[in-house]
Amino acid sequence: EAGVAQSPRYKIIEKRQSVAFWCNPISGHATLYWYQQILGQGPKLLIQFQNNGVVDDSQLPKDRFSAERLKGVDSTLKIQPAKLEDSAVYLCASSLWGTDTYEQYFGPGTRLTVT
């Protein structure tokens, strides 16, 4: 079974530029999550999708971050404009919807450096 795919793996941009990350979850997983992991900290949830609807985006800085999940499969996370404090690893995870929704499967992450 293929795991969660993310691209790109690394990205370096200057502040005020825009950037987009892509995630392809495990086939059949209805729930998709984006987390931000700042160096030395644990991952923090940015947004959670159930199919193509948003379940929780309370921690998403909506003035600069946006995310969508077209057709309930792939998802993109965008930052525009980027700030220095956005430097982090952005993790995508997916899970089944049902009794084991808490068991999340993570992709390798995208390491973003904003200079």
Partner 1 sequence: GNSVTQMEGPVTLSEEAFLTINCTYTATGYPSLFWYVQYPGEGLQLLLKATKADDKGSNKGFEATYRKETTSFHLEKGSVQVSDSAVYFCALSVAGANNLFFGTGTRLTVIP
Residues in contact with partner 1 by CB under 8 A are: 3-4, 31, 33, 40-45, 48, 55-56, 91, 93, 95, 101-109
Nearest to 111 by CA among 21, 17, 25: 21
42/53 with CB nearer partner 1:
42
Do the Cβ atoms of 83 and 99 come closer than 8 Å? no
37/87 with CB nearer partner 1:
37
As measured in angstroms, the least distance from the Cβ of 100 to partner 1 is: 10
| HEC profile of 57-93 | CCCCCCCCEEEECHHHCCEEEEECCCCHHHCEEEEEE
As measured in angstroms, the least distance from the Cβ of 53 to partner 1 is: 14
As measured in angstroms, the least distance from the Cβ of 107 to partner 1 is: 6
Nearest to 55 by CA among 43, 64, 67, 38: 67
17/113 with CB nearer partner 1:
113
14/56 with CB nearer partner 1:
56
**Structure token pair of residue 103:** 């068991």
